[in-house]
Structure 1
Amino acid sequence: MLSKLIVSCGGTGGHYYPGLSIARKAQDKGLDVSLFLTGRRAPGQAEIAEEHGLKSNLARALSLPSIKKPWRIPLFAWRFYCDYLKAKKFLREEKPDAVLFMGSFAGVPLGLACASLKIPTFIHEGNVWAGKANRFMSKYAQKFLASFPLKNESAIQCPTVVVGMPIRPELLEENFKKPDFISHLNDEDPLVLCFGGSQGAEAINKMLRYAYDVMNARKYKLQLVQLTGSDDNAELIDFYGNSPVAVSKQSQEMGALINRANVVVCRAGASSIAELIHFKTKAVLIPYPIAAEDHQEINADYACQSNGFYKLHQSEIDQFSLANAIELQMRQDKELDFSMIDYPDAADKVLKEIFPKI
């Protein structure tokens, strides 16, 4: 009989895509695997999973009520209890051998239901600072699987193992086709790639255009690919005119773009950092200033142990500081060393911790 695994993902792509990567690897190894998805992005995420032959179960996502609105607490408590009962019913029907949590408070009702039914649970943490939901759930878990050494490991109430951050299989390819939307850019001149990730690019988008002008004034022969996360890019495209720039909302060919880039400008999400480490691409990290418990700042500090990364605070950004940071990374000619922060083959390691005999 096949071992059965449920992977619980909630919230942003930073929880979902690593979970999807693990589920796809489990599928390749012959396991019976499905996803448990919560949040407003869940329907779209389920469609992506279906493209890979994975079924998904969707559930409501609850968020903790604000202490400034105490009258919402009774309704929250009732809904939480209802979700807990639904999760127990779901687990009794599915009968999984193990459940893997990728983070987010939205998965807590399922986690408590697992504890009640004595179903083995495992937690994967993407960030260097373990989040509140994962810290709480660790008391019920067999193992806490970390992407990187944890800054707050003392808060974890079960054994911790560093396994790395699973990245999408598409990014593990050796040969990439040049994306059509950058076909007008050449393959010789330096290229800067900028994206905001799931935590927003607006502040970076506003300043990058002016930093690009500064770089041009310094006689850099520079090409730019800017992924804005926005549908409305007409003003930005008009600003760049005939410059060697490609602007798009997003791209499904991130492997090809990161592999081609000389320098990347992005947030300090754990998935982005893991992908940059894989491609050994230099980067300017701009931590999202309102990320929960300042975890992106901590991620960036960890990444900057390698000379491939440079941190710039959003409060420090103007056209000159951003241009200087990009130039610093472009000019760096030291041999890049990512070894002290690199944990490859993460999806395999996660599954080995859950099912040692596979």
Structure 2
Amino acid sequence: MRYILSGGGTGGHIYPALAIISEIKKRNKDAEILYVGKKGSLEEELVTKEGIKFSPIEVKGLPRKKINKDTVVTLMALLKGLRQCEKIIKEFKPDVVIGTGGYVCAPILLKAQQKKILTVIQEQNAYPGKTNRILSKKADLVAVNFEEAKKYLKYKKMIVTGNPIRDDFNHVDREKARKSLGIKDKEKFVLSFGGSGGQESTNEAIIGILKGEYKRDFKLYHVTGKDHYQGFMKAIDGIDLENVNIVDYSNNVPELIMASDLVIASSSAMTLAEISAVGVANILIPKAYTAGNHQVYNANSYKDKKASYVILEEDLNSDMLYNNIEDILKDNKKREEMANNVLKLGNKNAVKNLVDGIELLINERTESKRKI
């Protein structure tokens, strides 16, 4: 069986694809897999690191403002990308093409749909992105993370699976994680991060807490994002960082989340799936500039189920963030209730359910061909 996967731009689109690939390989060691993405991108870096065959294409995202010269450049790139995908499909001959979102997957899915090849869309957010809203109409299967996403999509067949996450989350133990990170038994551990690229508003609020006259009776581990690290460290130069770890990036997110008493994070679908897999109290700070404001939709879905505190970026400041941290850490009952509520929203079997759906789709296509 031959599979093409595509999705990119952020880890939120790439990691679900990698989780799907891992599950396919577990079931079928002979499966042939090709990842299609943008040349020189994050998806190329992460995919090739996993030893997965990668085919680069040229593609650009549509400008969000009115039509201008950038629109023409984007359309020219799309046409070139479609020609490249025509060649990829002709040579690879996939049985199914799976897209996990981001504009990068548009050309390969469009071309596959034109050629009547099975296509699957995996949508992570409560408010679907533009690419998936368009492609879902002709997709053979749409898999969603949030029930709320259904009303924004047109589809032939849909399943609610949850968001596929890395298998690492099934092999992390809280006690071992805390011991590995040097966290004492009764010590409260707070993890703060803003996705793979960091979050400027959260960085500024954390800087204010570190520089201000706040009583920090908890251990803080903050991830700035690579582009923000130097500026962050310059801003806190000379500040006492006892019980504080500042890093630019971490590949150790499963262990960090498992060890946490509280997580402060943006509300990307991937982050929500990860904290839900563990079950941990959290403060969500949705990024205001995301397409369709989807992070606010994600965060409100969790807030409505009493699984998260939510602070909008426009309201965020050091006082508000610190007060929310203290409110959660000092109330064990509230923290436990929140952790239980968020755990109910998780689904560790998401990737298994999704690949079950893909296999059923392939079997149905094979059976229909036999009857003809």
How high is the TM-score relative to the length of structure 2? 0.86
Amino acid at match of 2:46: Q
Q: Distance in 2 between matches of 1:227 and 1:313?
A: 19
> Is contact 1:182–1:246 with CA below 8 Å preserved after alignment?
no
1:193 and 1:138 map into 2 onto residues whose CA distance is 36
Match of 2:341 among 337, 343, 352: 337
Amino acid at match of 2:116: K
Question: Shift of residue 317 of structure 1?
Answer: 1.4
User: How large is the RMSD of aligned CA atoms in angstroms?
Assistant: 2.5
Out of 143, 146, 149, the residue aligned to residue 148 of structure 1 is: 146
CA-to-aligned-CA distance 1:45-93 (integer Å, 9 cap, x gap): 233222xxx2222222312146545334444333322221210111111
Asked if the contact 2:275/2:342 (under 8 Å) is kept, the reply is no
1:252 shift after superposition: 1.2
Match of 2:370 in 1: none
Q: Cα distance, 1:314 vs. partner? A: 1.2
Q: 1:308 to 1:328 in 2, by over 3 A?
A: farther
Between 230-239 and 35-44, the greater mean CA deviation after superposition: 230-239
Residue 350 of structure 2 corresponds to residue 346 of structure 1: yes
Q: 1:142 to 1:215 in 2, by over 3 A?
A: farther
In structure 2, relative to structure 1, the CA distance for the partners of 1:106 and 1:323 (3 Å cut) is same
* 1:110 counterpart residue number: 108
- Residue 237 of structure 1 and its aligned partner are, at CA, apart by 6.0
Q: Does 1:32 align with 2:32?
A: yes
Which secondary structure does the structure 1 equivalent of 2:263 belong to? strand
Please report how far the alpha carbon of residue 6 of structure 1 lies from its aligned counterpart in structure 2 after TM superposition: 1.2
Deviation at 1:32, TM superposition (A): 2.5
**TM alignment of 1:9-48, pairs within 5 A:** 9-30=7-28, 31-38=31-38, 40-48=41-49
Unaligned segments of structure 1, at least 5 residues: none
Q: 1:75 to 1:314 in 2, by over 3 A?
A: closer
**Structure-2 separation of matches of 1:154 and 1:69:** 24
Distance 1:152 1:303 in 2: 17
What SS does structure 2 have at the residue aligned with 1:139?
Answer: coil
SS across alignment from 2:136: helix
Contact 2:191 2:264 in 1 (8 A): yes
In 2: Cα distance, 1:348 partner to 1:18 partner: 12
Letter in 2 for 1:229: G
Question: Does residue 1:6 correspond to 2:10, yes or no?
Answer: no
- Aligned residue in 2 for 1:166: 164
Match of 1:300 in 2: 299
Structure 2 partner of 1:253: 252
Task: Say which SS state the counterpart of residue 140 (structure 1) adopts.
Answer: coil
Distance 2:349 2:328 in 1: 27
Q: Which secondary structure does the structure 2 equivalent of 1:338 belong to?
A: helix
Select between 266-275 and 303-312 the one with higher mean Cα deviation.
303-312
Contact 1:270 1:299 in 2 (8 A): yes
Q: Which runs of 5+ in 2 are unaligned?
A: 364-372
1:54-203 pair list within 5 angstroms: 54-65=52-63, 68=66, 70-151=68-149, 153-175=151-173, 178=177, 182-183=181-182, 185-198=183-196, 200-203=198-201
Q: Match for residue 204 of structure 2?
A: 206
| CA–CA distance in structure 2, aligned partners of residues 138 and 112 of structure 1 | 10
How many residues in Structure 1 have an aligned counterpart in Structure 2? 350
Task: Give the secondary-structure state (helix, strand or coil) at the position aligned to 2:22.
Answer: helix
Q: Distance in 1 between matches of 2:205 and 2:152?
A: 39
Change (3 A) 1:236 1:223: farther
Q: Indicate how the Cα distance of structure 1 residues 70 and 209 shifts in structure 2: closer, same or farther if over 3 A, else same.
A: closer
SS in 1 for 2:105: helix
Question: CA-to-partner distance for each residue in 1:133-182, whole Å, 9 max, x for gaps?
Answer: 00100122011100121345243233221011011111221437559995
Paired residues of 1:100 and 1:123 also in contact (CA < 8 A): yes
Alignment-derived partner of residue 228 in structure 1: 224
Please give the TM-score of this superposition, normalised by the length of structure 1.
0.89
2:308 and 2:342 in contact (8 A); partners too: no
In structure 2, do the counterparts of structure 1 residues 234 and 76 end up closer, same or farther at CA, with 3 Å as the change threshold?
closer
Q: CA 1:215 to 1:258, structure 2 compared with 1: closer, same or farther past 3 Å?
A: farther
Structure 2 CA distance, aligned partners of 1:27 and 1:202?
Answer: 38
